[in-house]
Amino acid sequence: MKDPYSNQKNTYLPYTRGILPDELRLGSLYLDPYNPNLGLEKYRFEFKEKTLREERYWELITAWTGEPEVDDIEPYILRFQATTEWAAQAKIIDAANVGADKTKTRDVSIVGTHARRYQIKNVNRPEQFLRQQVLTQPDVKKWIADRLSISFYARWKHHRKTGEPWKAPSIWLVTGVHLISNGCVHSGWNVGLNVQGGANVDPGTLAGGTPTGRSAADVRGSRRENVQMENLYGQSGERVWCAQFMELAVEFTNGPGRNESQGWSTRLLPKKEIEVLQLRQVEDLGVSGVRRRVTSKESQSSSIDWKKHQAMIIGLQTTGHDDYEPTATTDDTTATATDRPDIEEPLSKMVVADLPYNQGLSARDWGTFEDYLAYLDYQN
């Protein structure tokens, strides 16, 4: 059976807990989108956190997103299917059941008073935003270059024990946030059974799913539909409950030759790039992350010229879409946020699922990455 998520682009990643808007900004860079509040500067580079207060941040973002899409008729219900891993973190199911039920999903609803969504629109707009707003921040290029140095090394360096190449984390850019006010997480959202009577009929006695004492109108806003839900927990105030990420599309050049079996190659013909970054040297740390002793003979005979290694950011990749073709402007001029207002497009239908992100983040070797990152930090 074909993977239903394979053709989804720009899917929103749902969170088990809402995140304060100022702690998950559009334009921020993450290695681990699942845990945006962990890792400090090691795993994230927050967008203009030191130079732009929250009010000014929203003004800047609106210039790129347009006015937000707003749902202000209460109640607002966001329904999606989450993997068992997500459900276990949200305490919808017991963590012990994840392994036995790994392939199945859980119906989840987040119910709030209202919602608004900010998403960078138009074909070229996210890449313009990356070039003009994200990459112009102080210290961001070094932050990216260090992590891409390790990613480049991971593409051709085989793991000492397994003989398989290890995977370093990719860099993800936040291009959309979905905020819900007073969100409550519910398990299930089975809709369809008509409820006869007034708005105060307790559908829990009919279907056994909705919390006792709550009417169908309370949950769904309709007197003729029964929504089966189990109210689990909630958070007051407006928070980011879903975020859209796009992975940096990067090509590495001037490596130690071509090796198809190791899954990488040196590109011969240049493409139009957004940014070219110089990579730093990453050496073999040996067993348990301890740097091995290199003899003078080994260092002199090395065929790798690290000074020529570059990472070229050529665009952004959409979640769950492998055949990426980077977009390009029609000339070499730098576009602004107000260029071509005639091509403003409405926001695409929102898709919420964590499975594409699971696939994109699978098999990442965080332990080895930590070792090499510590080594680069030590070099500083």
User: 13: closest CA among 332, 172, 241, 224?
Assistant: 241
Q: What is the pLDDT of residue 321?
A: 38
Q: For the segment 2-33, what is each residue's pLDDT rounded down to a tens digit? A: 444 444 567 999 999 999 999 999 999 999 99
Other CB atoms within a 10 A radius of the CB of residue 177 amount to 25
Write the CB contacts of 222 (distance below 8 Å, at least 6 apart in sequence).
Answer: 216
Q: For the segment 278-307, what is each residue's pLDDT rounded down to a tens digit? A: 998 887 666 555 555 544 444 444 455 656
For the residues 261-290, what does the mean pLDDT come to?
Answer: 67
Instruction: Measure CA 167 to chain center.
Output: 17
Q: Assess contact for 291 and 283: CB atoms under 8 A.
A: yes
DSSP element (H, E) containing 357: helix 355-361
Beta strand 184-193 with 105-112: parallel, antiparallel or unpaired?
Answer: antiparallel
Phi, psi of 106 (to 5 degrees): -125, 140
Residues 54 and 179: their CA atoms lie apart, in Å, by 15
E strands present in the chain:
12-19, 29-30, 44-45, 69-71, 76-83, 105-112, 115-119, 172-181, 184-193, 226-234, 238-253, 275-278, 310-317
Residue scoring higher pLDDT (119 or 96): 119
Over 80: is that where the pLDDT of 265 sits?
Answer: no
Domain borders along the chain are 12-74+113-182+238-379
Q: What is the DSSP letter of 305?
A: -
Residues 142 and 148: their CA atoms lie apart, in Å, by 10
Overall size of the chain counted in residues: 380
Residues 39 and 30: their CA atoms lie apart, in Å, by 10
Q: What is the pLDDT of residue 319?
A: 67
Q: For the segment 223-234, what is each residue's pLDDT rounded down to a tens digit? A: 334 445 566 889
Q: What is the pLDDT of residue 28?
A: 96
Q: What is the DSSP letter of 270?
A: -
pLDDT band at 240 (very low <50, low <70, confident <90, very high): very high
What mean pLDDT value characterizes the chain? Answer: 74
pTM, to two decimals: 0.77
Q: What is the pLDDT of residue 283?
A: 73
Residues 211 and 288: their CA atoms lie apart, in Å, by 52
Q: For the segment 168-221, what is each residue's pLDDT rounded down to a tens digit? A: 999 999 999 999 999 999 887 654 333 232 233 333 323 333 333 333 334 333
Q: For the segment 321-377, what is each residue's pLDDT rounded down to a tens digit? A: 333 333 333 333 333 444 443 345 667 788 999 999 998 888 888 988 988 898 888
Q: Assess contact for 5 and 351: CB atoms under 8 A.
A: no
For the residues 256-279, what does the mean pLDDT come to?
Answer: 63
CA 268, 369, 243, 98 torsion-angle sign: positive
Write the CB contacts of 314 (distance below 8 Å, at least 6 apart in sequence).
Answer: 249, 250, 251, 271, 272, 273, 274, 326
Query: 184 — alpha (psi -120 to 50), left (phi > 0) or beta?
Result: beta
Over 90: is that where the pLDDT of 68 sits?
Answer: yes
Q: For the segment 54-66, what is each residue's pLDDT rounded down to a tens digit? A: 889 999 999 999 9
Please name the residue that has the structure tokens 């290694």.
309
pLDDT band at 98 (very low <50, low <70, confident <90, very high): low
- Cα distances (angstroms) measured from residue 196 to each of 74, 204, 215, 230: 22, 13, 12, 21
